[in-house]
């Protein structure tokens, strides 16, 4: 076994649900799977002395979970005043409309199809509900509509699926684009280096205590996989499924369909940059 402190990003051990920073509390959804890890992290974020809270990613359409999120906020003496989405995948957003019914909140997202209310989310937006400061950081790549939320007071960033608490993220063709994703990782690295962000509050998996370390790991991992895919093509593996079997041989076969989507995104990236010449 590898010591947790030595893993990329220094994942925090212990219970996943509960307080993570002075302003962020996680309520773990009961939807664990190979793709969602322990389940979706639904984040309740609020100023310590505020009666208002913001919920990020209500999670799946599971009434027990959605009510548990409301209960957690109310037990802390808070009312949920706003719902935000990091992106539109069902494990993060499917329950948003029902959650809005339970709380009477608007839902803000980058994708207009996911919004409930007139306001969306865009680069430069600052959420100030209840005195909280959350800065919207566009991070496309995992999906075209992926966002992160910078929580300056806690030196933290809520990353949705852009960075996970364990393992790495699928950049799924065709919605996911690897070039955009690499740019987003560099944007998050700048938050760590220039803005002092230290803590990653991911959409799945444990909290990470070394934001710069995990971003550097993600960038190195992507460079390594790209080199492997490029070499596989040069060796005659031209079909995406062949590339998966060759490059991802050490990965559980149940994850190969997701790996193939990533390979397609990698092949697109290599073609766009003139590194391979597949038709």
DSSP, residue by residue, the chain? ---GGGSTT-B--S-SSEE-SSSEEEEE-S--BTTTBT-BEEEEE--TT-SEEEEE---SS-HHHHHHHHHHHHHTT-EEEEEE-S---HHHHTTHHHHHHHHT--EE-SSGGG-BSS----TT-EE-GGG--EEEEE-TTSSTT-EEEEEGGGTEEEEETSS-SSS-----TTT--HHHHHHHHHHHHHHHHHH---EEEESBS--BS-HHHHHHHHHHHHHHHHHHHHHHHHTT--SHHHHHHHHSTTS-GGGHHHHHHHHHHHHHHHHHTTS----
Q: What is the pLDDT of residue 233?
A: 94
Given a cut of 70, is residue 188 above it in pLDDT? yes
Q: What is the pLDDT of residue 278?
A: 52
pLDDT one-digit tens code per residue, 249-278:
988 898 899 899 999 999 999 999 988 875
Rounded CA Rg of the chain:
19
The token pair that represents 44 in the structure block: 């309740």
Instruction: State how far the Cα of 165 lies from the Cα of 28, in Å rounded to an integer.
Output: 13
Structural domains for the chain:
18-211 (3.60.15.10)
pLDDT one-digit tens code per residue, 31-82:
999 889 999 999 999 999 999 999 999 999 999 999 999 999 999 999 999 9
Nearby residues of 153 by Cβ (< 8 Å), 6 or more positions away: 22, 23, 47, 133
Q: What is the pLDDT of residue 4?
A: 45
Instruction: State how far the Cα of 220 lies from the Cα of 86, in Å rounded to an integer.
Output: 24
Neighbours of 99 (CB within 10 A): 27
What is the band of 16 on the pLDDT scale with cuts at 50, 70, 90?
Answer: confident
Question: Could you tell me what percent of the chain has a pLDDT over 90?
Answer: 89
Given a cut of 50, is residue 190 above it in pLDDT? yes
Average the pLDDT over 164-171 and give the result. Answer: 93
pLDDT one-digit tens code per residue, 122-153:
999 999 999 999 999 999 999 999 999 999 99
Average the pLDDT over 241-247 and give the result. Answer: 94
pLDDT one-digit tens code per residue, 199-225:
999 999 999 999 999 999 999 999 999
Q: Which one, of 203, 197, 183, 9, lies nearest residue 89 by Cα?
A: 203
Q: What is the pLDDT of residue 276?
A: 82
How confident is the prediction for the chain on average, in pLDDT? 94
Instruction: State how far the Cα of 236 lies from the Cα of 63, in Å rounded to an integer.
Output: 50
């Amino acid at each position: 076994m590898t010591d947790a402190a030595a893993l990329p990003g220094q994942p925090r051990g212990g219970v996943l649900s509960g307080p993570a920073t002075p302003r962020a509390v996680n309520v773990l959804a009961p939807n664990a799977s190979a793709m969602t890890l322990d389940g979706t992290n639904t984040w309740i974020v609020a100023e310590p002395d505020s009666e208002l809270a913001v919920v990020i990613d209500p999670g799946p359409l599971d009434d027990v979970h959605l009510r548990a999120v409301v209960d957690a906020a109310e037990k802390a003496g808070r009312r949920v005043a706003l719902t935000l989405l990091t992106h539109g995948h069902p494990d993060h957003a499917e329950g948003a409309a029902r959650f809005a019914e339970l709380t009477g909140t608007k839902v803000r997202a980058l994708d207009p199809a996911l919004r409930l209310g007139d306001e969306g989310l865009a680069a430069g937006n600052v959420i100030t509900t209840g005195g909280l400061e959350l800065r919207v950081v566009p991070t496309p790549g995992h999906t075209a509509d992926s966002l992160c939320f910078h929580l300056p007071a806690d030196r933290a960033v809520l990353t949705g699926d852009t960075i996970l608490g364990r393992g790495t993220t699928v950049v799924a063709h065709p919605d996911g684009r690897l070039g955009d994703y690499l740019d987003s990782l560099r944007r998050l690295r700048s938050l760590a280096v220039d803005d002092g962000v230290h803590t990653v509050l991911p959409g799945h998996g444990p909290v990470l205590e070394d934001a710069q370390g995990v971003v550097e790991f993600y960038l190195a991992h992507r460079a390594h996989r790209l080199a492997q895919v490029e070499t596989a093509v040069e060796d005659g593996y031209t079909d995406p499924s062949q590339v998966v079997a060759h490059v991802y041989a050490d990965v559980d076969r149940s994850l190969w369909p997701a790996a193939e989507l990533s390979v397609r995104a990698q092949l697109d990236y290599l073609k766009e940059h003139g590194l391979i010449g597949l038709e």
